[in-house]
Chains A and B, each alone.
Chain A
Amino acid sequence: MPKQKTLKKVLVIGSGPIVIGQAAEFDYAGTQACLALKEEGIEVVLINNNPATVMTDESCADRVYFEPLTVESVEAILQKEQPDGILATLGGQTGLNLALDLHDKGILKRYNAELLGTPIESIKKGEDREEFRALMKELNEPVPESEIVTTSETAIQFANEVGYPIIVRPAYTLGGAGGGIASSEAELKQIIKGGLSLSPISQCLVEKSIAGFKEIEYEVMRDSNDTCITICNMENIDPVGIHTGDSIVVAPSQTLTDVEYQMLRTCSVKIIRALGIVGGCNIQFALDPHSKQYYLIEVNPRVSRSSALASKATGYPIAQMAAKVSIGYDLHELINPVTGHTYASFEPALDYVVVKFPRWPFDKFVHAERKLGTQMKATGEVMAIERNLEAGIQKAVRSLELKTNGLDLPSVTKKSDNELWHLVKNADDRRFFVLLELMRRGFSRQDLHKETGITEFFLQSFERLISFENQIKASNFDDIENESLLTYKKAGFADEWLATVWGVTTKDVRKKRIELNIKPSFKMVDTCAGEFTASTAYFYSSWSGEHDIIPQSGKKKILLLGSGPIRIGQGIEFDYCSVQGIQSLHRLGYEAIMMNNNPETVSTDYATADRLYFEPLTVEDVLNVIDLEQVEGVIVQLGGQTAISLVEGLEEAGVKLYGTNLDTIDQLEDRGRFYSFMNQVDVPHIPGVIAIDEKDALVNASNIGYPVLIRPSYVIGGQGMMLFQSEKEFVSYLEDKENVVSFPLLIDAYYPGIELEVDALTDGESVCIAGMFEHVERAGVHSGDSVAVTPPYTITDRVKELVLSYTEKIAKGMDFKGIFNIQFVLFKEQLYVIEINPRASRTVPILSKISNKSLISYTIQLLLGESLHSLGLTTKTLPEPNFYTVKAPVFSYQKLAGLDPILEAEMKSTGELMSMSDNLDEAFLKAFVWSEQAKPKFFTQKGSIYFDVAEEFLPEFASYQVQLKECGFTLVTEGFDEWVQSDEAIALISLPKLGTKDGTEKRQEALRQRCSVISELTTLDVMLRGLAVKEVDFLAIQDWWLKEKELIK
């Protein structure tokens, strides 16, 4: 049945900023959906306040509202836009909850906006625990017995009825803290007591534990003709007990017989039919490894993280088909765009193995609770495709960009056997490397199976990797011949690791490999295991078998390197830049080739680039693609630090890099050279010096004068930065064994002034500043964790001119073309440079959208030799808009226990949001009240605010005390424990002595009780300005552009 004729305009609800458990996959899904709707001639109105997304681009949506994802704003938009339908099932949990709120409040009916795709009742049956369990009973599909308890007694009574082991899952605790599995009443008593006290609503779910079962997921689709298909199934290597998002996952399942595969498939089809889903759905099973007994764990009645993974694993574009199906198309009518001549009502067949590996933030957050369990903690993930499991695992590990040496993680290899066994039983993010290390020490897969429940099939694969390692360590480079080297490459061992084992250089290994004619072949992901000729341009490398023919267009080719998995400090903004870069290369007549390994993003959608290589971003893998494609050159400016870190290896191999080189990068990242470069171009930099050892450090620190900021060189995200108020503190830090102090150490004077940031385009001669951000929080709070405003709202024109002249001087002095970012600090009327990033930064997407100019397209043209003049960029700065845009960080503290919610030099936010208004205070209000779930109590109710302010800040805080009282808040400074438990508790103002972290427990407890934690006075200031705003208006960015034009005319 073709699409419903009545649909002219559809409102799509986005998923908002990235948080752990709801990340880039919804930009991928949202972009596919918007493009599918536009393809049908439907006008797309989008609400999504995540600025760094591709879907919020003009190519995807006709009108984009960067407004809060709240009922008020959606209602206002419904009133203004009068859409015929709303698509909310592609906006993750945020979109789904908003759809439920709009429905329950009768707003959908009032504006007769039809909810497209999966109906509300189905969403409720999938989402609401009770309705889901009732439906499963009706279908007599087994679910583990469970109950919500608020007292220990009811928990124990439940356990006696159902029998141990019991799993306890506290509601709303940080990172699922307080949960655990009890195998006896004694254990249950202890766990439930902790769980109830930790849960802010003192409530826990107790459930029959099926930990240790195989965890299997099915990605299913259904249309309104009741056609049901499963796109693929996935088997978690980590059994039930560790969240699917924190598990290493293989697609398709490896250890299910066909009978079991079909049993769970038939059940999935039965459930999606009973739920009446129209679109995509993810179904999670637990399968007993010793019988055919299975349980339903949960159903996600929407496109999810797993559907993005399934789309990339199979090549089947789920979100695109889900959107088409939601407007009335049937699957058997829709052409499969991958083959071009078969239809979408079929189930992909894979002729390769896919491995997904999660990427956690614990290499940065060393103190956070890294134990894995029922609550997801990974910030991102990588995917790898190969023809055998061993090579797939190796490719995934390479893609993670952890400091591994081949398959071993140095911090793990140092531990004792007992420590390793402890880490195996209490699994954390390092468990894969711990298992391998125990195998290296001779422990058998049977021992490891007993402790972890991991199916021996996967442990045997790990064992094979270890036996290959031993074979390689026993061999030497000179007598390596074709047969054995091919075997090692087929098992996934990188040239670099082989070189370290054989004591030769990577180049030697690569040269020998090419002499022996051992090169990777590249095969197509075609959804049909080669059965039909396919026209996709989606490839992976394998060391076995022949090439698939690579379609050639005869045009010049340029390779663009992506940014790998999402992590703290390097998020979806670099995917936006990569996709924009690919699109502009395409428009300029080049064959644009993309290389990336993040399954959640738009850049790894096979339809984005002319050709996609789903590969690790290491020098060897990039060179393999370059050898195959014979590209003109490689662009490294748009893939964040991942791409930048490949410059050295690529330059050494003689690859042409556009616009930048190793020397320029080293000049900026090596602090010593950076200082001399600043002096050379006569631009003031913060006084700083490099210390080679402890004695040197203490001498230099006192010369510069405390307070000082110290950090290791060559690091991103302010990692390992420490602030010392006095020499006493610095000495005690150096003496504390716990701290890993690596030299050389950078020591800077600490200038807590106003931090400014610019993104500038340059052709090597002149510059054009795309925009300038002024940070609300002073320097010392990482730029990524600060609220920032563009155009700047307090600094004078004198300072702006100074910024411009320094930017010009730097651009002239650097051997660099393209787009770069400079961070300044204005301290005591003096402007200093903090850091220069020779690449696109996280603010580029926002500036592109505000200015309605594609900065990345300019960048690409500059890289290819155009001048600013020829691009019509004749002014030194783009015109400042006549409205304000606020960029605010979003944190995932709920998911990561053990983190101190204080703003500091080390970055902790996982995402960001954007708000707009010509009234700055209104923009601040929208930046804080940014979604229905995340409405801080400070803005919605009166009550009491606790302040824990150090001596030095009391004078400055005095005026705020008055303002807070005027706003109707009462102020409290004693009795924290009962205050934090009371319903009165609104927010904690915690300003510890500079350079100390006093009051961590108070901040963490306040966060647990869902109060805001304010650790900067400037943040409080703008919150008060936002609170004062009475009425709020909601406008699309297109309306702001229009206002802009009217002004200029």
Chain B
Amino acid sequence: MKMSGDSVIRAGFGLALVILGAIGILAYRSTESLIDHANEVAHTLEVTGTLDDLLVEVLEVESAARGYVMAGQEFLLEPYYGAVRKVDQTIQAARELTADNPTQQRLLDSLRGVVAAKLAFHRQKLDLTKNKGRQAALEMFPPDREHELMDKIRDLVAEMKAGERRLLQQRSLEARADARESTLTLLVGFLLSLALLLLVYYHLTQQIARRKHSEDRLIHLNRLYAVLTHVSQAIVRIRERDALFQEVCRATVEDGLFRMAWVGQVNSATRLVEPVAHWGFEEGYLKNIRISVEDEPEGRGPTGSALREGRSFVCSDIRSDPRMLPWREEALKRGYASSAAFPIHVDGRLIGAFTVYASEPGFFNEEIVGLLDEVTSDLAFALQSMAQEAERKRAELELKARAAQQRAVAQLGLHAMEAKDLEALLEETVRAVAQVLEVEFCKVLELLPDGKGLLLRAGVGWKEGCVGTAVVGRGLDSQAGYTLLSNAPVIVEDLRTESRFSGPPLLHDHGVVSGMSVVIGGPQRAFGVLGAHSTRRRTFTQDDVHFFQAVASLLATAVERLRAEGEIRKLNEELEQRIAERTAELAASYRELERRNQEIERATRLKSEFLARMSHELRTPMNAIVGFSDLLAEEGEGPLGETYQCFVRHIQEGARHLLVLINDVLDLSKIEAGRIELCYEEFRPAEALSEVLSVIRPLAEVKKIRIDADVSADLSGYGDRTRFKQILYNLLSNAVKFTPEGGRVWMATAREGGWLSFTISDTGVGIPPEEHLAIFNEFHQVGTTTRGVKEGTGLGLAITKRLVELHRGTISVASEPGKGSQFTFTFPVDGAELEGKAGSIGPAEAAGTAS
């Protein structure tokens, strides 16, 4: 297990402390033992001193005792007693001093005994002296004994002293050995702790260096974060690409404390990286170096590799990295020690690289590379949004341009539809096209009638005097000529490199670079060419071309229309002439018609007048004839002879017949002239029938003809009651008239929907089928010879048919000669069948609804 720097420091430091502690304890203990030793030396010295003192005191006792003995003077005993006390004290002191040493205690015990003997000797001697005198004492207690005891004492003291010295010596040896050991231990401990401290120191410095390093790195990272922030702000603030590059470089160098930063783009032609922005200590570096994106020596640096492989590349040490060889000298000269390059991807496309140089080797660690990667991707993001913004703006402009084009087309279209003056329309067109397409020049070239050239008919931007006079060729020597030949829109990006046609002087004279042209009108009937040109290099979009074609097509339509209108005007004039003639003819016809109408009206009026007149004029003489013949028949003025009576009857009958004829003719004329007015009402056919029968029955009775006619009393009809009666009268009187004596006439009634159907039958002579239709014609009568009856007017059935038809009914006949006849007519039940149509409907139409 590897220990971290901190643990090593902690362990080393702890160990050193332990060792120092141990050394301290050891030193303490050594000192203690030295002190002990010193104490022991002092003790020994004290013991030997005490022993010496004892010896001295004993000698004092001896010499005091001796003095007394010699001199016998009492005062001389003073020292003696003092010495004796001291001897005891000294022995006691020695005992205490050597209490821990049994050997010495033992020797001391011996010594105390000898000393006691000595003291006893001297006391006895003194006592003797006192009592017996000196001589006795001297005899009794010889000096030999004295010396013997003394020697013993000396020996014992010496022995004790020697014992002490031995002990001291031994302890000194021990102390020395201890001291040596201590010294060694101290030395070792010192060295050990020194080593540990050195280790700790080493680690600490390492640690500090590391701390310092990470602090530096943190500072750098912080600065890089500042770069990131700055770049983020710049992205929001700066909407222009190169300025943003510049700002990113500046922020990276200033905030990130890099030596230099630059953004390069690949020139697709040379495959070389070209700087577009840089910041920092550059001093012409970018101008002096060459970086390629190909896999070649000059393409293997970080920038080239990043651009080639699409990921970031780092060169940790420019001095030693062999890949940096091509640029090493220049780089080192400018203090670049390491570098990193980051590819810029926009929309998945590599658009360039961001390269950064640091002034120390190995600067680009993972974190810094990561942050710079982030800076680069922020930049890329900004570029992407810029591109999107640019695209949006472009689309917006495009849209605006499109709208302007559409407006222009609509406006021109309107004018093209109604323009009377081609010149003005062309003028307006070239102005509008130049404005909408944002070109300086626009022109309409008209194909000359001889077809050999094109005349500049209208234009904007051209030098004065060109419009109306300049003529260009119609072959491959002009754009217009080429356009006519190709019959398709011709777009010229750069006239200077154009190869499809040779340079037209008109365009070259005006410094035209880009342009487009289309044919006005179809290939068969080309009017000319519409052109738009610019001195700026310009790419025309498909929409521009469409707009241009639309304008050309409008012009073509207008030209065509104006041509056609010219023709139409001519035709119109002819037409107007013809119409005027025709109108005059028509007016004449109309006048003629009017005249005829007036004539007809007059004729009708005359006819009516005639009818009225005839009615009046005939009735007046008829009045006299009828009136006077009646008076004659009355025989009021006297009786007439039988023959005259007969004559009068003939006059009466003839007059009545004539009257009926007059009335019938009048009736028919009125019906035909449409002058008859029907008086519509609801009535009871039964009542009308009985009124009619009251007139018919007397006639029938004369011929003994039986009439069976009955109509239900609650049946109702709708129409002109008088005319209904006229119809019934005509049919019934006809039936009676054409039925031989003793015959029979009968009438049946039926209702069918909104119609009443009346059938009058008789047992009369009958009518041949071929005459069934003709009998309803005016003045038609069934052959008189076969009928053997009185003649009628020949108008009765014609009037009857018309009256029925005026009520929208029908009338028909079924008959065979000799088998009688059946006349059937229909009559409306109510107003529903007549509503709004009274008197104005023809028979054919009426037949359809009534049959």
A, B from the same assembly: no
Binding site for B on A (CB under 8 A): none
Interface residues of B (CB under 8 A from A): none
